[in-house]
Amino acid sequence: MHGEYKVPGGKLVVVDLDVRDGVLRDVRVAGDFFLEPDDALPAIDAALEGASADTDASGLAARIDAALPPGTQMFGLTSEGVGVAVRRALAHATDWTDYDWQLIHDVPQEPRLHMALDEVITAEVAAGRRPPTLRVWEWGAPAVVIGSFQSLRNEVDAEAAERHGIEVVRRISGGGAMFIEPGNTITYSLSVPDALVQGLSFADSYAYLDDWVLGALGDMGVKAWYQPLNDIATDAGKIAGAAQKRVVTSHGAVLHHVTMAYDIDADKMTEVLRIGREKLSDKGTKSAKKRVDPLRRQTGLAREAVIERMIASFRGRYGLTEGAVTPEEMARAEELVRTKFGTPEWIARVP
């Protein structure tokens, strides 16, 4: 069995192993990480040898930590990362490069249609009718996007939203509210087979699916990192929030979508969103305006240039061919707007 895992912000860990009589055998760990002293690597292999195949990543990491020589130094590597690579080998997880990725970067669409397209495209990936897809959104109108389980009245000031001409929509994933203005926001979705995140915990899958964009931001001079559970942050503040939805079928798929602040009208945002003291209490700030630091200031680039560089970075890592929403997918999405995403029953399903 073979498993690979890119440690977030670190290096690639590769594990080859067999399972006999329910335990790990012939374990070999490798990768492009740095490790001192030299005998630390065989110590890691020995620590994993004989472990139950049911041991989770944390348990495997504990075995490794207990066996490491005194003074061991890991660079780009963690014991937990080795444990995750083992779990991915046991789950027969796939890798990014195992797929022919498709890009959808279409004309601006209304907010409700974007909600529907996420559901349709991810369902198509789950059914095997569409390859794994990176969809970069273009917004046709301003919006507030609330999470699947958020209370409408608790999150949005309806009068302020109406006054500013801002539509309120609800997505299928959880998480918090996002304030959207077309020229000030960068949003993308990854619709991926469930096999890509096999062996990862729910939290680890966020970091794993965000890793490519951290590299893209780094190429633009922005040192960013994954901040559990679902934020991308820099020293200047949060720049993006992610959310996920799992589609459970015989194969399954994961929707992972991210909204990034390119620029922001903070005064308008705080008028429309009811951002309370409790939500801000663990953010180290008394002001919602200070929680988000736009990419425009951090990169010095036009929004279009940021998007182009992000796409180029993904293409350079994993390959990416141009694609489009099919007529059948668009018809299904438009039907979902009529029957679900555009209805008061869905938008106010948690009043």
For residues 224 and 284, what is the distance between their CA atoms, to the nearest angstrom?
Answer: 18
- Write out pLDDT tens, residues 112-141: 999 999 999 999 999 999 999 999 999 999
Q: What is the pTM of this model?
A: 0.90
pLDDT in tens, 10-19: 999 999 999 9
How far apart are the C-alpha atoms of 210 and 296, rounded to whole Å?
Answer: 20
Order of strands, edge to edge, in the sheet holding 2-6?
2-6, 12-20, 23-31
Q: Output the CA torsion sign for 75, 80, 84, 85.
A: positive
- Sign, Cα dihedral of 39, 45, 50, 55: positive
Out of 133-142, 192-201, 219-228, 288-297, least confident range: 288-297
Residues 6+ apart with CB under 8 A from 143: 111, 166, 167, 168, 169, 180
- Compute how many other C-beta atoms are within 10 angstroms of the C-beta atom of residue 182: 15
Predicted pLDDT of residue 290: 54
Task: Write out the H or E segment, with its range, that includes residue 171.
Answer: none
Average pLDDT, the chain: 94
- Tokens 């180290």 belong to residue: 284
Tens-place pLDDT, residues 186-214: 999 999 999 999 999 988 999 999 999 99
Burial group, residue 107, by CB count within 10 angstroms (0-12, 13-18, 19+): exposed
Q: For the chain, where are the E strands, in sequence order?
A: 2-6, 12-20, 23-31, 34-36, 73-75, 102-105, 133-136, 143-146, 167-170, 178-180, 185-193, 225-227, 231-234, 237-247, 253-261, 321-322
Residue-wise pLDDT for 14-63, tens only, equals: 999 999 999 999 999 999 999 999 999 999 999 999 999 999 999 999 99
| Greatest C-alpha distance within the chain | 67
**pLDDT tier, 291 (very low <50, low <70, confident <90, very high otherwise):** low
The confidence score (pLDDT) of residue 3 equals 95
Q: What's the pLDDT at 284?
A: 43
Written as one letter, the residue type at 288 is: A
What is residue 280's predicted lDDT score, i.e. its pLDDT? 46
Does the structure show a pLDDT above 70 at 277?
A: no
pLDDT attached to residue 248: 83
> What is the rounded distance in angstroms from the CA atom of residue 218 to the CA atom of residue 331?
38
Taking only the tens place, the pLDDT of each residue in 231-268 is 999 998 899 999 999 988 778 999 999 999 999 999 99
